[in-house]
Structure 1
Amino acid sequence: MTLSRSAELLKALIAFPTISHTPNLALIEHVARVLGAAGIACTMVKDDAGACANLFASTGPADVPGVMLSGHTDVVPVEGQPWTTPPFQATLRDDRLYGRGSADMKGFVACA
């Protein structure tokens, strides 16, 4: 099965263990590179420690109102949960991708 560009991006995002209260910078930098390769300008805003960041991207004319899509990239810890697949490795089964964050919110981020 050939995966869509969104599904390929989701696979990459799942691999980043962005557990809440841990750095997300590597994932944010990855998404910034993907956007840059598509010609989409973005701005990264890092926290004081430089370990976590938000990413703002915009397309379309700057002088025309638009729609804002917003998502987070942190996930809850996996310890003590009965995962049947590796939580930080996308697993394709029955045309579905399984992995931590695949439905909330990394799946949305990949599609947006």
Structure 2
Amino acid sequence: MTNLEENQQPEFEQELEEVETSLRLLKERYAQVQQDQQQKAQWQQEIKNLKDNKNQTPEIKAELKRIQKELEVLEINLESQLFSWKSLNRPFWQAVRFGGLGVIIGWLLKSSVG
């Protein structure tokens, strides 16, 4: 094994660990989203059943409000699980890097022309 290959081995192992960690987190997030979607469907069915009940007692109305609040929280949770600031980390820095490079090239071209 050459010196270059020896230096690349720890980098590769680190990259592999990062990929494995990302995959594990993605699987966990996916499982949570599936569970939340099932819960959402159950609560929507329960809301429908409560609304279809002709005897709207105060207890039923209170239960309906409670379930609707829980459903709103669940929907916010589902939306936030699909979007994370960490997922924007790499694209953000690539935009900064290449956007900055574009500005520098533009300045160089402008100064050489004018």
TM-score, reference length from structure 1 = 0.21
The alignment's TM-score, normalised by the length of structure 2, stands at 0.21
More strand by share: 1
The structure richer in helix per residue is 2
Larger radius of gyration: 2
Which one has more relative contact order, counting CA pairs under 8 Å at least 6 apart? Answer: 1
